[in-house]
A and B are shown apart, each in its own frame.
Chain A
Amino acid sequence: MLANTEKNVKFIQGNQACVEAALAAGVCFYAGYPITPSSEIAEILSERLPRIGGKFLQMEDEIASMGAILGASLTGLKAMTATSGPGFSLKQELIGFACLCEIQCVIVNVQRGGPSTGLPTSPAQGDVMQARWGTHGDHPIIVLCPSSVREMYDLTVYAINLSESLRNPVILLSDEIVAHMYEKIELPEARDLKLLERPRPRKDPGEKYLPYYTSHPAEVPRIANFGEGFRFNVTGLIHDTDGFPTNSPEKTEALLSRLHKKIDSRLEEICLVEAEEMEDASIVLCSYGATARSCACAVKEARRRGIKAGLLTLKTLWPFGDFIFERLNPRVKTVIVCEMNLGQIVREVERASRGRFEVSGINISRGTLITPEEIIKKIEGLIRN
């Protein structure tokens, strides 16, 4: 590792940037299970966490890792885990538990080729829909997607902040390229980071306490930590505001609606997008993760060839920012979605377009990055037709 300590400039891989961010943002509990291509996160944290008095656990399986971080989070610690495709599949049930029980946690999924064991050391973006719908039942989720080492840092901090402040699991959906790519980045000073904390009960222990009560549907409930004397119940059954099971249709509806409003009411705050060369663009590339880097290169080349190309890089995949596409300049005639899968976000963009512009896709799943040349070829093909 090359480091210039004065300016805090480092030449590191995405997985290490994730660790640096997690530690800077106050994560002090990690539980995981070894899996390529996410293992560096566990390896580095196993060295770093004990140094600050934090806890690192290598559990017996992916499910146990998820259970352990949720247990730790309920005691008030900022907790995270990291995994990849098959491990992400195994974690799904307890991700749903965290959504329903409103337990803060960050799950890093470094995507690799699938399905099944697939291509363990190759990149892919095939888990976009799984990140949204992998756990059963209607549930809200936040999924962030970094396209550079610096973004792996920034979005890890953002994931922790969103999870803590909204009491919702947040998935950092990286990919093998971003995770293993080395880039020079200047790390921010930890003290300069704006950190959000979990909403705390306003009452003292002993008073009548309703952990899941909110005065407004969009509000985040003020749930205590275990061990503070509130003596409350957490259950994966549908529960009332007191935290105990209920079968009431009205209370079920109220809970599920509140969980969704918690996220949906903050849509524009949660949805991050980066626009490049969009002022006069008529043909727009839309991408995320490592693929966005090829797109940036392709936009430059297209401009050099006189094509008015622009780029939208989505940093937040879920909730999906329909408003981004509703507000596109009417000059935009075509949006080409580039992703290393056989068609996941492209359908969301088609839905959000509502006929205002043409939607096309470059959807390739073969274990390698989509190249700028392939994108240019697609752009020129569309222009010719």
Chain B
Amino acid sequence: MKALSEIKQYLRLDKFPHIWCSGCGHGIILQSFIRAVLDLEVDRDKLVVVSGIGCSSRAVGYLDFDTLHTAHGRSVAFATGIKMAKPEFTVVALVGDGDVSAIGGNHLIHAARRNIDITVVVFNNYNYGMTGGQNSPTTPIDDCTSTTQYGNMEKPFDICVLAEAAGATYVSRSTTYHAVGLPKLIADGIAHHGFSLIEVITGCPTYYGRMNKMDNGVKMLEWQRDHAINLKQYQTLSEEEKKGKFVIGLIHLAEETEYTDEYLKIIKKAQSPTS
């Protein structure tokens, strides 16, 4: 485990204090991301971190890399352009659940389909925190939010299943409670050559938590502890016991051709004298 002093060198400390609420889990993900970058010894001048709009997206402002805070839902589209322009760069998108699975859902599935070598870290707090706690595509059924006051009636997206089905070749999930193992999951995603998605369940005690009987950060972490389960344990449970539980750890890993590699082949084909 790296010392805190090593983490600080990758933070823009003059931008603190951060905007996140007391008890919010986003700082844990931010720290885990930095630990992943440190462990991988990524060239910090060739790392571009992109975000969309929402609480999660403000993470880029605190990171001392080239950072790009785009429009709501569009981070993966920008990231695709950056990676295609400069395949040698490491490109990471830090996104929210509404950001990437509602307004930006199309970009997510198509980047996954292309298997372009970018890494998406989803800060999933089950609601739109920045705008006052409305329901998102990941809000669990029956839960209350400021726009589902009688309980949410929509079936939520499982972002990991969605990414895998669309063609992502590295998919994993964790929570802010499981902070110790999180850097490794993010590092594996960045190191993986292809489209990677790491979903991190994080707490929003200010809105989602308060409206669902978890009005502080500790209660939210306890909920994560009690509902997250590793794959081996999950497989031993009955269908009844599986209800409400979610799997953490590596979910999907595959080797497929990567988009920018394939495009280099197209360039060679186009430049060959016979073409």
Interface residues of A (CB under 8 A from B): 29, 31, 47, 50-51, 53, 55, 57, 59-61, 63-75, 77, 79, 93-94, 97, 205, 226-237, 244-245
A19 to B266, CA, bound (A): 20
Tell me whether B77 and A53 are in contact (CB under 8 A).
no
Jot down 23 A-B pairs with beta carbons below 8 A, ordered by A: A50-B269, A51-B271, A59-B110, A60-B110, A64-B74, A64-B107, A67-B78, A67-B80, A68-B81, A68-B84, A71-B82, A72-B81, A75-B86, A75-B89, A79-B85, A226-B68, A226-B82, A230-B66, A233-B67, A234-B67, A235-B69, A236-B70, A237-B69
A66 to B73, CA, bound (A): 13
A79 to B269, CA, bound (A): 23
With known contacts A94-B74, A227-B45, A57–B81 Cβ distance under 8 A: yes
With known contacts A60-B107, A93-B71, A235-B61, A70–B78 Cβ distance under 8 A: yes
In the complex, the chain A residue whose C-beta lies closest to that of B263 is: A55
B186 to chain A, nearest CB (A): 20
A70 to B80, CA, bound (A): 10
Tell me whether A227 and B44 are in contact (CB under 8 A).
no
A229 to B64, CA, bound (A): 10
In the complex, the chain B residue whose C-beta lies closest to that of A55 is: B84
With known contacts A53-B267, A228-B45, A64–B67 Cβ distance under 8 A: no
Tell me whether A72 and B84 are in contact (CB under 8 A).
yes
Number of interface residues of B (CB under 8 A): 38
In the complex, the chain A residue whose C-beta lies closest to that of B113 is: A60
Q: Does B55 contact A (CB under 8 A)?
A: no
B165 to chain A, nearest CB (A): 16
B9 to chain A, nearest CB (A): 12
Q: Does B15 contact A (CB under 8 A)?
A: yes
Which residue of A66, A79, A227, A235 is within 8 Å of B48 (Cβ)? A227
Tell me whether A231 and B78 are in contact (CB under 8 A).
no
Tell me whether B69 and A64 are in contact (CB under 8 A).
no
Which residue of A51, A59, A233 is within 8 Å of B61 (Cβ)? A233
A189 to B65, CA, bound (A): 41
Interface residues of B (CB under 8 A from A): 15, 44-46, 48, 50, 53, 60-61, 64-71, 74, 77-82, 84-86, 89, 106-107, 109-110, 263, 266-267, 269-271
With known contacts A50-B266, A231-B65, A245-B61, A71–B110 Cβ distance under 8 A: no
Contacts of B78 in A (CB 8 A): 67-68, 70-71
Contacts of B74 in A (CB 8 A): 63-64, 67, 94
In the complex, the chain B residue whose C-beta lies closest to that of A236 is: B71
A235 to B89, CA, bound (A): 20
Contacts of A64 in B (CB 8 A): 74, 77, 80, 106-107, 110
Contacts of A232 in B (CB 8 A): 66-67
User: In terms of DSSP, what is the predominant structure of the interface of chain A?
Assistant: mixed
Q: Which 4 A-B pairs have the closest CB atoms?
A: A71-B81, A67-B77, A68-B81, A50-B270
How many A-B contacts if CB must be within 8 Å? 128
A69 to B71, CA, bound (A): 14
In the complex, the chain B residue whose C-beta lies closest to that of A51 is: B270
Which residue of A72, A228, A230 is within 8 Å of B85 (Cβ)? A72
B113 to chain A, nearest CB (A): 9
Contacts of A236 in B (CB 8 A): 53, 69-71
Tell me whether A59 and B85 are in contact (CB under 8 A).
no
A94 to B107, CA, bound (A): 15
Tell me whether B82 and A72 are in contact (CB under 8 A).
yes
B17 to chain A, nearest CB (A): 14
Contacts of A71 in B (CB 8 A): 50, 68, 77-82, 85
Tell me whether A57 and B84 are in contact (CB under 8 A).
yes
Contacts of B107 in A (CB 8 A): 60, 64, 67
Tell me whether A231 and B263 are in contact (CB under 8 A).
no
With known contacts A64-B110, A71-B80, A72-B82, A94–B71 Cβ distance under 8 A: yes
Contacts of B109 in A (CB 8 A): 60
A60 to B114, CA, bound (A): 11
Tell me whether A59 and B80 are in contact (CB under 8 A).
yes
Contacts of A65 in B (CB 8 A): 77
In the complex, the chain A residue whose C-beta lies closest to that of B75 is: A67
Tell me whether B61 and A231 are in contact (CB under 8 A).
no
A244 to B15, CA, bound (A): 9
B74 to chain A, nearest CB (A): 5
A237 to B130, CA, bound (A): 14
A228 to B269, CA, bound (A): 30
Tell me whether A244 and B80 are in contact (CB under 8 A).
no
Tell me whether B263 and A226 are in contact (CB under 8 A).
no
Contacts of A229 in B (CB 8 A): 45
B215 to chain A, nearest CB (A): 28
Tell me whether B45 and A231 are in contact (CB under 8 A).
yes
Most buried by B among A70, A73, A77: A70
A60 to B167, CA, bound (A): 15
A31 to B78, CA, bound (A): 11
Contacts of A68 in B (CB 8 A): 77-78, 80-81, 84
